[in-house]
Amino acid sequence: MIKIVKAETLTSLLIAISLFMILFLAYANWQSLQNKQANYLYQKQQALQIAENQLNLKAINEPCEKIVKQNNLNFEISCLEQKITVIFPLGKIELSSTE
């Protein structure tokens, strides 16, 4: 009679699964951080474009907009004499205008 010998034990199998889960969770956490940063940078880029548009409106003596909705996001705009502030869901930028 032929005796079949198992190459793995329950302990080694559990260790292998544990190592895989640690690697998977580390990757998932890293990916989450990358997504957050990408979203922040995208919204900041939109806010900078909105601020640039407000500078152009000020240059032609038009009033600033108060709220701009882009891609289902609300951007709140505050125009002062020498500063434009744009508040977006993940942050805020301030642009100084020197004329």
pLDDT tens by residue, 42-60: 999 999 999 999 989 988 9
Q: Locate the domains of the chain by residue range.
A: 10-96
DSSP class of residue 65 equals P
88 neighbors 46 (Cβ within 8 angstroms):
yes
**16 or 37, higher pLDDT:** 37
pTM for the complete prediction?
0.76
